[in-house]
Amino acid sequence: IKNGSELKSQEKIPKKKIAVMTSGGDSQGMCAAVRAVVRAGIFYECDVFACFEGYSGLVKGGNLLRKLGWEDVRGWTSLGGTLIGTARCMEFKERSGRLSAAYNMVTNGIDALIVCGGDGSLTGADLFRSEWPSLLEELYEQQKLAKFQIEKYKTLKIVGLVGSIDNDMACTDATIGAYSSLERICEMVDYIDATAESHSRAFVVEVMGRHCGWLGLMAGIATGADAIFIPERPPEVGKWKDDLKTVCKRHREKGRRKTVVIVSEGAIDRELNAITSDAVKDVLVEMGLDTRTTILGHVQRGGTAVAFDRMLATLQGVDAVKAVLEMTPDTPSPMIGILESKIVRQPLVRAVELTKSVATAIANKDFDKAISLRDSTFLESYQNFLSVSSNDDGSQTLPEDKRLNIAVIHVGAPSSGLNAATRAACLYCLSRGHTFYAIENGFSGLVRHGSIKKLNWSDVENWHSLGGSEIGTNRTLPSQDLGTVAFYLQQHDIQGLMIIGGFEAFTALRELEQAREKYPIFNMPLCVLPATVSNNVPGTQYSLGSDTCLNQLVKYCDEVKQSASASRRRVFVVEVQGGNSGYVASYTGLVTGALTVYTPEKKTSLRSIQEDIELLRDNFAHDEGANRSGKLFIRNEKASTIYTTQLIADIIKEHGSGKFESRTGIPGHVQQGKVPSSMDRINATRFAIKCCEFIENLNFDVNASNRNPDPEVRLRFKYSNGQKKNLLKKESDSASVIGIDGSQFKFQSIEDLWLNEADFVLRKGKTIHWEHMNEINDMLSGRLMLRKQN
Ligand code: ATP
């Protein structure tokens, strides 16, 4: 993503005609992608055509292939499904269909196509690109096109955006719609949980995914399911029934009142026989469980997109337009993907080939290959699922001399994900034979009351969906009384400590690390698992709880926007949390289509407010009929001490001269959310297990398990074992923060982060990794266009 000045230089790129379509099954976020393509296209002085009804729009042309304007896509960020329609178009699978598609494109002057769809749609797009010269040749021979037309449009530019709820495309961690669909599944299973628990019932929940088990796997982790059935990890024929009974029975005996089994539509056994939800139900009934089946069906495609999908669709839509403009005839067609938190371009052909090879691998019963071809985290997630479900059978238990005492503490304000992370860490540790302790009510709880207790399987098994903090949290730091902290940790012989929280957790880690000389017990492995709505922990671009917060804000803003739209002349100034970090404000602005965002990183001035009001005027001037939509300004709580939320609203009212007015909206603590989002739940599990492995790896030589610990960790942190228990080779690395940095997942030492990355005055990292969101939002809100015109 380019910065503002680079964007400006690209304004001179000559006009081009681009077509955009949504194809295959619909997914949440497709509308946001189309909006981004249309507006970015117009910003770069292109004409953007929508192909209505997928490839049918290209094949039939006419009114199904028409230009969209800036106003046509107003408010589309918040809409589910796709407003330009999608279809499964059989004609396009035939050469004759593609011939008329080529004809319609050339006669409309279009030679670039952005396709948002699944692997089928992108396969079709690639075939179209490879056939393009011969299609034009054939049209020339049929005297439908003139020579100059063939020459002018001799190459077709194709860019793929992956819109699919299945998350089945290779070379990207996520597809547009997958997390929204997962969120719907979690909501439904959470509802089912209440009734299952009440009647002590078993539920078999069937989720979509004919060829890909991503939804089934992630739903299994996020809903704390007892078992899952997915195509990539088929169980042994027949044996799966006994295994299912064993795991469910064991969990029941440990105190679970309900049983939940997630079955992917395409679940199979090792001989490729289908494992249907009915067959699974029969097994549970045989066990004597009162069992019901719920087939979620199209609910999974329903509703509006979650914050992540809106962000993904928006950033990828803009990047797709840039890719079209930057492509040369020799550039391979790109597919826009995301790796960890970075938008990337991957060769489309390779991505499609790899995706198809998964189906082949499954058909050939090469299941290890199939799972390895899925996104980079699929196998890890599968192992994570086992860690928190069936590994409680003792199969992963370590020899006695390798079992540890591991503790967790929550520090700082509550955020969603604290409990899910604690649950995952606890279940993982118990499966390994470790003893897991929870320090209650933060460091003050430890110092004042010595509150530290063992957690068992039944204590935590249902914490995956609980917001807040079950073990209690507060902002106190260990410096309150380091000696007493050391005393209690020593008393329980703690050999690894996981600190879950935000900037206070970060500070606490540094205090413990700095006190190591005086209190040798702190030489144990220490790690921070970032969890805060503000996402302001140095060393990571993602913190647990921030996704839940963004989803809360998306919901809140959609609602106030609707109210603003109904009153026709109103703008809402919404104040969001984030402390001195503008991450939440910038992200919210991008995914709600806000007209302006006030952040601490950018000075708010009278001049900037004046520009905002001009933008508002311009927007109201075009706010008619079906295109009418509510207006939003997003302001971070600490953006300015002078220009408060109320003052900005008052200034708007004053300058509205009766044509428009303003209201403030302050969601406050609602932003923490009641239950964690599905993304926060699965990341809580992922991060927590990584932290446990970090602690294990530093306590004894690795390879004690069949897991595959990060080799970087293995090399950097070799523990000098034996007599000198708790003494480390490189002390500072053993106190680290786990996080996502660009497209990488890593542990970074607190010392390095403290000295080079932390901004103590503003309580955040020095790297502003979200600035591009403001630049894109300025483009899509019309601000950059207005500046151009002025
Ligand atoms: P989903 O993931 O929701 O199934 P998809 O894009 O894979 O989405 P498909 O039904 O496979 O959905 O494909 C959508 C459309 O793409 C088809 O109806 C057809 O028009 C086009 N298409 C798919 N495969 C091909 C192909 N091999 N050749 C030409 N066109 C194709």
Return the pLDDT at 706: 34
Of 9-18, 30-39, 268-277, 382-391, the poorest mean pLDDT is in: 9-18
Residue 360 assigned to a binding site: no
> Which residue owns the Cα nearest ligand 1 atom 2?
118
Q: Look-up: residue for tokens 């935590």?
A: 460
577 among the known binding-site residues? Answer: yes
Closest ligand 1 atom to Cα of 88: 18
299 assigned ligand-binding residue: yes
- Confidence band for 496, pLDDT divided at 50, 70 and 90: very high
Q: How far apart are CA 755 and CA 48, in angstroms?
A: 48
Phi and psi angles of residue 415, each rounded to the nearest 5 degrees, phi first = -150, 160
- pLDDT band with cut points at 50, 70 and 90 for residue 196: confident
Number of H helices, E strands in the chain: 28, 24
Q: Check pocket membership of 25 for ligand 1, CB cut-off 6 A.
A: yes
Q: Rounded to the nearest 5 degrees, what angle is found at the Cα of 38, between the Cα atoms of 35 and 44?
A: 135
Residue 495 known to bind ligand: no
77 near 31, Cβ under 8 Å? Answer: yes
Report the nearest-CA residue for atom 17 of ligand 1. Answer: 88
55 Cα to the center of ligand 1, angstroms: 9
Q: How confident is the model at residue 743 (pLDDT cuts 50, 70, 90)?
A: low
- Ligand 1 atom with least separation from CA of 27: 3
pTM of the model: 0.93
CA of 119, closest atom in ligand 1: 7
Pocket test for ligand 1, best of 93, 114, 164, 208 (most atoms within 8 A of CB): 93
Q: Whose CA is nearest to atom 18 of ligand 1?
A: 88
119 in a known ligand binding site: yes
Q: Which carries the bigger pLDDT value, residue 182 or residue 631?
A: 182
Tens-place pLDDT, residues 570-625: 899 999 999 999 999 999 999 999 999 999 999 999 999 999 999 998 888 877 66
Model confidence band, residue 345 (pLDDT cutoffs 50, 70, 90): very high
Question: What is the Cα Rg of the chain in Å?
Answer: 27
**Measured from the CB, is residue 419 less than 6 Å from ligand 1?**
no
What pLDDT digit, counting tens, does each position of 101-132 carry?
Answer: 999 999 999 999 999 999 899 999 999 999 99
In 3D, which of 652, 574, 601 has the Cα closest to residue 773?
601
Give the mean pLDDT of 21-44.
Answer: 96
- The DSSP code for 474 is B
- Show Cβ contacts of residue 550 under 8 Å, excluding neighbours closer than 6 positions: 307, 308, 584, 587, 588, 591
Give the pairing of strands 570-576 and 526-530: unpaired
Query: Among 100-109, 392-401, 607-616, 709-718, where is mean pLDDT lowest?
Result: 709-718
Cα(303) to ligand 1 centroid in Å equals 23
Does residue 408 have a known ligand-binding role? no
Residue 265 C-alpha to ligand 1 middle, in angstroms? 19
Q: Is the CB of 120 under 6 A from ligand 1?
A: yes
Q: Decide whether any atom of ligand 1 lies within 6 Å of the 214 Cβ.
A: no
For the cut 60, the answer to whether the pLDDT of residue 725 exceeds it is: no
- Ligand 1 contact, 55 CB (< 6 A): yes
What is the structure's pLDDT at 207?
A: 97
The confidence score (pLDDT) of residue 64 equals 96
* Single-letter amino acid code for the residue at 122: L
Residue whose CA is at the smallest distance from ligand 1 atom 23: 120
Q: How much distance in Å is there from the Cα of 75 to the middle of ligand 1?
A: 28
Instruction: Please give the distance, rounded to the nearest whole angstrom, from the Cα atom of residue 217 to the centre of ligand 1.
Output: 24
| For range 393-419, the mean pLDDT | 94
Task: Report the distance separating Cα 332 and Cα 144, nearest Å.
Answer: 28
Whether the CB-CB separation of 115 and 128 falls below 8 Å is answered with no
Count the Cβ atoms, other than its own, within 10 Å of residue 8: 13
Burial state string for 681-710 with b = 16 or more CB within 10 A and e = fewer than 16 = bbbbbbbbbbbbbbbbbbbeebeeeebebb
Q: What is the pLDDT of residue 698?
A: 86
Asked if the model's pLDDT at residue 398 lies above 50, the reply is: yes
Amino acid residing at 266: G
Asked if residue 7 has pLDDT above 50, the reply is: no
Q: Which two tokens stand for residue 485?
A: 């902290």
What is the per-residue pLDDT for 727?
40
Evaluate: CB of 23 within 6 angstroms of ligand 1: yes
pLDDT of residue 790: 77
pLDDT of residue 722: 37
pLDDT exceeds cutoff 80 at 742? no
Q: How far does the centroid of ligand 1 lie from the alpha carbon of residue 177, in Å?
A: 17
What is the rounded CA–CA span in Å between residue 374 and residue 212?
Answer: 9
Q: CA angle at residue 422 from 760 to 547, to 5 degrees?
A: 60
Per-residue pLDDT, 623: 72
Question: How far is the centre of ligand 1, averaged over its atoms, from the C-alpha of 682 (Å)?
Answer: 30
Residue 91 CA: nearest ligand 1 atom is 20
Q: Which of 530, 524, 537 is nearest to 499 (CA)?
A: 530
Going by pLDDT thresholds of 50, 70 and 90, the confidence category of residue 712 is: very low
425-446 residue pLDDT tens: 999 999 999 999 999 999 999 9
To the question of whether residue 298 is assigned a binding role by annotation, the answer is yes
Q: Is the dihedral of CA 51, 52, 54, 58 positive or negative?
A: negative
Question: Do 29 and 22 meet the contact criterion of CB atoms below 8 Å apart?
Answer: no
- Residue written as token pair 């011939």: 99
Amino acid at 512: L
> Which two three-digit tokens encode residue 714?
């293995």
Predicted local distance difference test score (pLDDT) of residue 732: 66
Q: What does the pLDDT look like over 534-556, one tens digit per residue?
A: 999 999 999 999 999 999 999 99
The span from the CA of 549 to the CA of 553, in Å, is: 6
Q: What is the DSSP letter of 93?
A: G
DSSP state of 171: T
Q: How far is the CA of 125 from the centre of ligand 1 (A)?
A: 9
CA–CA dist 352, 373 (Å, integer): 12
Read off the pLDDT band of 715 (50, 70, 90).
very low
Please say if the pLDDT value at position 708 is more than 90: no
The full 3-state SS of 195-211, as one line of letters, equals: HHHHHCCEEEEEECCCC
DSSP characters over 94-146: SHHHHHHHHHHHHHTT--EEEEEE-HHHHHHHHHHHHHHHHHHHHHHHTTSS-
pLDDT of residue 717: 38
- Mean pLDDT of all residues in the chain? 90
Sorting pLDDT into bands at 50, 70 and 90, what band is 702?
A: very low
Which residue's CA is the nearest one to ligand 1's atom 19?
A: 89
From residue 331, alpha-carbon distances to 45, 170, 199 in Å are: 22, 20, 60
271: helix, coil or strand?
Answer: coil
pLDDT higher than threshold 80 for residue 757: yes
Q: Looking at residue 166, what is its pLDDT? A: 92
Q: Are strands 112-117 and 17-22 parallel, antiparallel or unpaired?
A: parallel
177 CB within 6 A, ligand 1: no
Substitution candidate for ligand 1 out of 59, 92, 121, 214 with most atoms within 8 A of CB: 121
- Nearest alpha-carbon partner for 72 in 88, 95, 50: 50
Q: Side by side, which strands form the sheet with 47-51?
A: 65-67, 47-51, 17-22, 112-117, 157-162, 334-339, 342-347
Average pLDDT of 673-681? 94
- Across the range 336-350, mean pLDDT stands at 92
Task: Measure the CA–CA gap between 182 and 51, rounded to whole angstroms.
Answer: 28
Question: Looking at ligand 1, which atom is closest to the CA of residue 122?
Answer: 6
| Probe residue for ligand 1, chosen from 22, 23, 51 as the CB with the greatest number of ligand atoms within 8 Å | 23
**DSSP class of residue 23?**
-
DSSP type of residue 274 = B
Residue 663 in marked binding region? yes
Average pLDDT in the 743-750 region?
86
Residue-wise pLDDT for 241-263, tens only, equals: 999 999 999 999 999 999 999 99
Percent of the chain with pLDDT over 90: 78
For the cut 60, the answer to whether the pLDDT of residue 759 exceeds it is yes
Q: How confident is the model at residue 3 (pLDDT cuts 50, 70, 90)?
A: very low
As a whole number, mean pLDDT of residues 281-308 equals 93
- Answer whether residue 238 shows pLDDT above 80: yes
Is residue 658 classed exposed, middle or buried when 0-12, 13-18 and 19+ CB atoms within 10 A define those classes? exposed
- What is the band of 627 on the pLDDT scale with cuts at 50, 70, 90? low
The rounded Å distance from CA 85 to ligand 1 centre is: 14
Average pLDDT over residues 296-306: 90
Residue 578 annotated as binding site = yes
Tell me what percent of the residues of the chain surpass a pLDDT of 70.
Answer: 93
Question: Identity (one letter) of the amino acid at 790?
Answer: N
Alpha carbon of 239 to ligand 1 centroid (Å):
36
Q: Which atom of ligand 1 is nearest to the CA of 92?
A: 20
The set of catalytic residues is 166
Indicate if ligand 1 lies below 6 Å from the C-beta of 88.
yes
pLDDT at 569: 81
Residue 265 counted as an annotated binding residue: yes
Average pLDDT on 728-736 reads 69
Whether residue 541 contacts residue 741, with contact meaning beta carbons closer than 8 Å, is answered with yes
Listed range (151-155, 349-353, 619-623) with the worst mean pLDDT: 619-623
pLDDT at 692 > cutoff 50:
yes
184, containing H or E segment: helix 178-199
pLDDT digits (tens, 9 = 90+) for 212-234: 999 999 999 999 999 999 999 99
What is the rounded distance in angstroms from the CA atom of residue 374 to the CA atom of residue 369? 9
